[in-house]
Structure 1
Amino acid sequence: MPHDPIDQARRLAHERFPDALAVILAGSTALGRATAGSDLDIAVLVADGRETYRETLRFEGRLVELFVHTRAGLRDLFAVDRAGRRAVMQSMYATGLVLVDVDGEAARARALAEEDLRSGPAALGPDAVEAKRYALTDALDDLCDATDGFERQAVAGFVVNAAADLLCDHHRAWKGSGKWLPRRLLEADPELGAVLLDAHARVGRTQDPAPLIETASAVLDLVGGPLREGYRRTWRGAAEPVTAGS
């Protein structure tokens, strides 16, 4: 009989982190979406002076992703996620299942996470939006011209990611990658996001890029339109790539 994942998470927390200040079980298990193969995403708040780290391990046959941090480490992780416009750790604390809460530590961390989520990410600066408009415009030109099926599919993947990025920024909404791309996109714009995702899927099913080109162009129109001639970006050193897709 398979182990209950929540019970497994409790046992892991008790065995490996008996002095934890807070332990949060997040991800699909906390949201009731777990399958037999789902891993456990566990955030662990430890006392100051300890390490902040991420570790992957296997516990009782189940894969576990551990996110271990001090109070200062958690503030740093929140700041990194705000800068990246992803709010991954904030979502873990805001929606996860509290397994350990010493003296209200989990509740305080959750309050900070919820405040970040309510505020939303900072808007991209004009230069960043311009660079992303140029990159998406260029990719759409490539998609229009693509005759090789593999290349068409690869460019379509870039287009849906770039359009989703711009659409989320347009709505001041958190973005995502991987399985979180459609989730975040649909949160940001349920109508246009769904059309964009369906148009991308149709490229694979029918090899017809026209709906994706049309929908991504509509996203571009929301943020200033296509950008080709007239685009100029100054290189400011090795720390800042000059490529349009950066």
Structure 2
Amino acid sequence: MNNQKRLKPIGAAKHFVDKYFPNCEGALLAGSVVRGEATDTSDLDIVIFDDKILTSFRQSIIDFEWAIEVFVHNLTSYKHFFEADYKRARPSLPRMVSEGFIIKDLGVIQEIKREANNILSEGPEKWSTEVIEFKRYFITDALEDFIGSTNRAEELMIANTLTNLIQEFVLRSNGRWVGSSKWVIRELNNFNVDFTSQYIDAFDNYYKHEDKLKIIELVDQILLPYGGRLFDGFRLDSN
């Protein structure tokens, strides 16, 4: 795609909606171009609300010199996705709606934005003591495997597991949303920039120098307020 000739994001989004969803009730442009974080490979995230659509869908399209991800909902289906995002503690659709720039609105967008903002401000469901113990045990298990391993290939996979377990534990135990991919760092920064730096440094140090110490110290630090590593006495009953 020729980035020099293509339309600006808002203009491209308006043309897209007019071409593909001319009868929709509402449309939003979301994602990195709205947040001012766009890169040369950024696409356009467009959310469509069209009450004539029977089933929600997501589609990837290249048009107007842009890669476009379109998320299509009717005026009730989005609620299921809001609820699912809340339960998994990753508010992808609520965030897109909340931050989205209005491309078209026939009187439906403000109420949907209000719902999204309420979810975001409420935060995810609080972890119970039982869930925290469960997570402590599996972090401990992964850490012990990491400490004892002498196989570099296996260590890399265990370290990858620990990156996800740690970010989830820190964020969820503090009542925060979690993320995946680049959103791991964004959610951690939203929570605590200093911790994020420590987290990155611990794993960067291991990957560069094969030094496990900072990761071990990081895990012990985050588990300490909840009783430290957990093995002895842990029990998991079958349903």
TM-score by length of 1: 0.90
- Which 4+ stretches in 1 moved above 6 angstroms? none
* Residue 144 (structure 1) aligned with residue 164 (structure 2): no
Which of 109, 128, 131 is the matching residue for 1:128?
Answer: 131
- Aligned runs of 1:1-246 on 2, under 5 Å? 1-3=4-6, 4-47=8-51, 50-103=54-107, 105-236=108-239
Name the Cα RMSD after superposition.
Answer: 1.6
In 1, Cα distance between the equivalents of 2:12 and 2:227? 50
TM-score by length of 2: 0.92
Of 116-125 and 127-136, more deviation after overlay is shown by 127-136
Please tell me the residue identity of whatever aligns with 1:67: F
Q: How far apart are residue 49 of structure 1 and its match?
A: 5.7
Deviation digits for residues 155-183 of structure 1 (CA, Å, limit 9, x no counterpart): 11111210110111121010001010011
Of 135-144 and 148-157, more deviation after overlay is shown by 148-157
Q: Is the contact between residue 153 and residue 203 of structure 1 (CA under 8 Å) also seen in structure 2?
A: no
Please tell me the residue identity of whatever aligns with 1:184: E
Q: How far apart are residue 206 of structure 1 and its match?
A: 1.5
Deviation digits for residues 22-79 of structure 1 (CA, Å, limit 9, x no counterpart): 2111111111121222111111111166321112222234322111111211111100
Q: Is the contact between residue 44 and residue 69 of structure 1 (CA under 8 Å) also seen in structure 2?
A: yes
Unpaired segments ≥5 residues, structure 2: none
Of 187-196 and 173-182, more deviation after overlay is shown by 187-196
In 2, Cα distance between the equivalents of 1:37 and 1:142? 38
Unpaired segments ≥5 residues, structure 1: 237-246
Q: How far apart are residue 84 of structure 1 and its match?
A: 0.3
In 1, Cα distance between the equivalents of 2:68 and 2:43? 5
Q: Matched residues, percent identical?
A: 27
